Amino acid sequence: MDDQDLLIENILDNNPKKKKKKVNGKSKGDRTELHLCKKLTEHFGEEFSRALGSGSRWSQVGQLPEHAKKTLSGDICVPEGFSWVIECKGGYESDINLTNVCDGDIARLDEFIEQVSRDAEYCGRKPIILWKRNRKPWLAIYREKDLPHHWFIRQIWYGDWRIVSFDALLKGTTRKIWFDE
């Protein structure tokens, strides 16, 4: 945690023109990805790391051979045999209101789904979005057809996609679901 993570407002200061510091989005995204890598590494006992192509670093990946590009698809570089391509998201509280599921589409969530679907098609793995809202547990967003016989007591259906607690998903599945073995 760095000094930018905490902002304490002086309620005794009557200067309404004083602005709060903005959160550094790149740093926040990096921390979210690192947190997810640690969680996955601890759960599976194999190393997960931030992918070279994560964020806005595709220019670094462009010159690599095809097999390397496929390995570096998504935000997280996964161990050999891992069946999923991971799109890691952090924040977006003001962009994604899950109550809108009842009213229609959620544009930002649709963007995430399109992004991970492209990556999945490119590298031949199943797509999953792992989303961490501020001070909330991780959520997993996956296609129903990729886990057709797994039902969770608490889940949200968004078209062909399911939104569940990531911890519940990890507890309710075996290694065989996650790895090609």
* pLDDT score, position 129: 97
Q: For residue 86, what pLDDT is reported?
A: 96
Distance from C-alpha of 115 to C-alpha of 34, rounded to nearest angstrom: 20
| Residues 76 and 88: beta-carbon distance below 8 Å | yes
46, part of any domain? yes
Q: Please indicate, yes or no, if residue 15 is contained in any of the structural domains.
A: no
Predicted pLDDT at 62: 55
User: Which structural domain range is residue 31 located in?
Assistant: 25-178
Amino acid at 56: S
29 domain-assigned: yes
pLDDT-derived band at 56 (thresholds 50, 70, 90) equals very low
pLDDT at 57: 46
CA distance 60 to 52: 7
Phi first, then psi: what are they for 135, rounded to 5°? Answer: 55, 30
Does residue 122 sit within a domain? yes
Exposed/middle/buried for residue 1 (C-beta within 10 Å: 0-12, 13-18, 19+)? exposed
Nearest-angstrom CA–CA distance, 132 and 120: 21
pLDDT at 61 over 60: no
CA distances (Å), origin 70, targets 61, 80, 129: 10, 12, 17
Higher pLDDT residue, 94 or 140? 140
38 part of a folded domain = yes
Q: Is residue 74 part of a domain?
A: yes
Please state the domain count of the chain. 1
Q: Is residue 3 part of a domain?
A: no
* Cβ atoms of 173 and 132 closer than 8 Å: no
Q: Containing H/E element for 130?
A: strand 126-132
Q: Which residue has the tokens 């911890």?
A: 167
CA 111 to chain centre: 13
Q: What's the CATH code of the domain at 83?
A: 3.40.1350
* Domain-embedded: residue 165: yes
- By DSSP bridging, strand 138-143 and strand 156-158 are unpaired
pLDDT at position 161: 94
* Per-chain mean pLDDT for the chain: 81
How big, in percent rounded to 5, are the helix, strand and coil portions of the chain? 35, 20, 45
Q: What is the mean pLDDT of the segment spanning 154-176?
A: 92
Instruction: State percent of the chain over pLDDT 70.
Output: 70
Backbone angles phi, psi at 160, to 5 degrees: -90, 5
Q: For the segment 77-132, what is each residue's pLDDT rounded down to a tens digit?
A: 999 999 999 999 998 877 777 766 667 778 889 999 999 999 999 889 999 999 99
* DSSP single-letter state for residue 92: -
